[in-house]
Each structure stands twice: as C-alpha cells, then as structure tokens.
Amino acid sequence: MTSLRSDTIAAIATPRGEGAIGVIRVSGMEAVPIVAPLVRANRPLAEFSPRLAHQVALIDPHTGARIDDAVCTVLRAPRSYTGEDTVELSCHGSPALLALVTTRLVGRGARLAEPGEFTRRAYLNGRLDLAQAEAVALLIHARSERAVTLAARTLAGGLSRPLRGLREGLLDLIANLEVTLDFAEERYGIDAAAAVKTVAAVRAEAARWLDVARSGRLVHEGVSICIVGAPNAGKSSLFNAILGRERAIVSPIPGTTRDVVEATLEVAGVTVRLLDTAGIGAPGDVLEAEGIRRAQAAADDSDALLVVLDSTAPPDLAILEQTAGRERVVVLTKSDVPPYAQTLEICDAVRASSVTGQGLDAVLVRLRTVLARLTAEADDEGGIVASLRQIELMTRLEAALAAAETALNAAPVEVALVDLGVALAAVSEILGVAVGDSVLDRVFATFCIGK
C-alpha cells in the first residue's frame, strides 16, 4: 500500500454473511460523482445535505434496473472519518447485492480498498494520530466490556495526549542541552543537575504509562489461568464446575487428562483463558510424561495459577513450593467428603466441592482479586490499551531515558543527547510523527477491509 490519496476507494464495511443491513463505504475526491449514477432520488446526489440520511433507490447504471431501496449519507471533506468526501450506502444485507453494488462502483472508477485503508487515510489527513488509528483496530477486536472501554478511551486520545506532552518535554530538554553545548562559556541553556531532574521526571512518566499499557494489554488479550496439581486431585472437575458445563473428561483413574484443555469465560469484565492440564507427578509411561511436560509449559506461560490440592490426601508440598511467588489461588477440592487434617492447615486456601458447588463462589472471588491486580482494575479510570508495537516502543523509550539519566551523571552531554534522540524517535513513532510507509504498512495490515 502506498500513501497515495488521489484515487477513490470503495469497500463493504460490514461483516461477511447475510444481515439486515450492509454498508458500503466510498471515499475520495470522486466519491460523489462515482456513486451518483447508482442513486435515484428527488435531487442529485451532489445536492444532498451533508451528514443527513436520505432514502434512495439504487439503480444498475448498465441496465437502469432497480437494485435496492437504500439509505445514503454524504459526508463532505474535511468533516468525515477519512477527511475526504465520503458516501455511505446502507443497503439490505444480501452478500450478492453488496457485491453487485461494489462491482458497479469499481466499474465507475473506484478502487477496492485494502485492509485499514480508510483509517490510514484518516491518519494521513490528520483526523487521527497513529496511536488513535491503532486504537480503532483494538476497539474492533475487543472481546470484553472492559476491553471496549479501554480501547475507546485510547481512541479518544487517552494515550496520545500524555505522549504528546512527553514529546514536547523531550524536545525542550534536547534544545536546552544543545544550547548548553553551543554556549558553554556563557552558561546558557540548562545545567546538568536540572537536566537529570527533568529526565528522571520524564522517565517516571514514561514508566507509568508503560505499566498502564501492559495492564490494558492483558485486558485486551485476556488473562490465562492454568489449573495445576497432582493426578486425581480434582482439577478437571473444578474446571468443569467453573465453566458450568462438561468440557473436560472426568474419571477416578489418575492420568485421564493427557493434553491441555482450554476454555474461555469472562470474569470481572476480563476474558479468561482457563487451562486444564495433566497431573504433575511421577510419570507412568511416555504419554503421561509428555502430558506433564505440556502441563508445566502451560503453567510457565500462564499469567496466574489455580493450584488444586486434594483435601482428602496429605498436602502436596512440592506443588506449593514450585508455585510460590506466582499469582495463584490455592483450592482444596473434595470438600464434600471427610478431609485429611494436615491439609486443612494450609493457609489462605479455599475449600470447594465440584460435586455440591460449595466454595465455588469463594474461588471466583479470589480469581477476581488476582485479575484486579494483574489488570490494574483500580486504575481503569485512566486506563488505556496499547498495541504490541506501541508497548515495544514504550519499552525502548523508557530504556533510552534511563540511559540518558545515567549519561548525564557520568558522561559528556553529547552521549546523553544520543540517548535522548533515541527516546524522541520512539515516542514520535508511537504518535506517527515522521514515520515511513513500512511502519504504516505493518500497522494497517492488521485491520479488516472496510475500516
């Protein structure tokens, strides 16, 4: 995709498949002339009042046959999503009908839009900065209410505003340090102590937003929680009980679960990937050994753990030691049968029965507490979500600022200026200031066609 904006693009902007309504979007300098021959109304399309919906008939310009009754909206530049003249046709949602209308628009001179091209034009025309543009894709792919809220806040400038302020602070600091170098004898510019203080403040702000972005990313992608424990401890029964359906095979025979079984649910507004795994212990055969290896790998890659202990057996101290230091909830299962006394002495464990349902609410309460810590739920009022590209650049920004702070304390100013230049480049790339087509291609390739 190039940055060329002189042509006119068209695409179906609603999901594939049948529906009540299907929307076709056309954007570019020739949007109105291209659509006009397909529209029959009580006035020419060029005379439609902008931003008002008009009922029209859609006509096949080749045959003059009536295709559909539709609603047409004209949005004039620059007051449109793309910043260009835009026409939106809301037709009946037949895939064949939408394809026919789109084909006729292409026949009139429009070009089929590429993924993300409408949003890319919005960015190129100054309607959005790059951080906001990426938030559009994050909003489209949001899978929970909290993820929607955070993406919408980012789209409204929740990330862009603080980063723009941070960038301005960096520009001022770099300019002052350059003056200090050029007029060292006159003592103009900024002294080293003040520069260190400024860099430290900017770094703290950058680190704070990096933490916020990482927490928001967990909300967007979902949190993975792995159920671990010894064979026949009741892991699969607890897995099914939390889900409220029979997802994993349950058997009194130890080692029934050999592979990782996954299901998705929503807890406290966060998408949770719940993983049931093989029991961890001494393997009885090659298959069981592979199951244990996969269970351990899943546990290592998960954000939190549900550590399951059989309350009717001696406590599994090994699994408690292995998971110490991790975000975890310890569950004593089989609470509906007589317990093993020593197991009950385990602190901060929740007793639960997958048979009677007793204690399951307490398990979910503990899980919500863990999720709140992982996703910074208390900070949701100022929370945002960021793309992986943005988090990578924010990490680079924070590291460059740390290097600049060190350099100002122990090295010539020229060294610190190099690190500050790296920091400035990182924050500029997040906002889309002076980025190349390769970066834009990578960003907008993740979008759907029509957005």
**DSSP string across 295-310:** HHHHHHHSSEEEEEEE
Residue with tokens 């340090």: 177
Closest CA to 133 of 450, 435, 431: 431
253: pLDDT strictly greater than 70: no
Percent of the chain at pLDDT above 90?
44
Please give the average per-residue pLDDT across 292-314, as a whole number: 86
Cβ-contact 371, 169 below 8 angstroms: no
pTM of the full predicted structure? 0.76
When pLDDT is cut at 50, 70 and 90, the band that residue 243 belongs to is confident
- How far is C-alpha 256 from the geometric centre of its chain's CA atoms? 36
The number of residues making up the chain comes to 451
The per-residue pLDDT for range 55-81, each reduced to its tens digit, is 999 999 989 999 999 999 999 999 999
CA angle 61/67/68 to nearest 5° reads: 130
pLDDT of residue 415: 87
339: pLDDT strictly greater than 80: no
Average pLDDT for the chain: 86
- What dihedral angle (degrees, nearest 10) is formed by the CA atoms of 163, 165, 171, 173? -110
Q: Which amino acid is at 47?
A: E
249: pLDDT strictly greater than 70: no
The CATH number for 9-126, chosen from 3.30.1360.120, 2.70.98.50, 3.90.550.10, 3.30.2130.10, is: 3.30.1360.120
Please give the average per-residue pLDDT across 16-45, as a whole number: 94
E strands, 222-268, in order: 223-229, 261-267
pLDDT top residue among 289 and 72 = 72
Q: Give the CATH fold of the 140-218+387-431 domain.
A: Four Helix Bundle (Hemerythrin (Met), subunit A) (1.20.120)
When pLDDT is cut at 50, 70 and 90, the band that residue 109 belongs to is very high
**Ranges in the chain annotated CATH 1.20.120.430:** 140-218+387-431
**Ranges in the chain annotated CATH 3.30.1360.120:** 9-126
Within 13 Å of residue 198, how many CA atoms lie on the same side as its CB? 20
185: pLDDT strictly greater than 70: no
Closest CA to 5 of 151, 178, 170, 121: 121
Residue 419 — φ and ψ, nearest 5°? -65, -40
448: pLDDT strictly greater than 70: yes
| 2-6, 314-318, 398-402: segment of lowest average pLDDT | 2-6
Please give the average per-residue pLDDT across 427-438, as a whole number: 83
- DSSP lists the bridge partners of residue 54 as 72
51: pLDDT strictly greater than 90: yes
**Ranges in the chain annotated CATH 3.40.50.300:** 230-263+274-301+308-376
When pLDDT is cut at 50, 70 and 90, the band that residue 244 belongs to is confident
Residue 66 — φ and ψ, nearest 5°? -75, 130
pLDDT top residue among 143 and 12 = 12
Q: Give the CATH fold of the 230-263+274-301+308-376 domain.
A: Rossmann fold (3.40.50)
299: pLDDT strictly greater than 70: yes
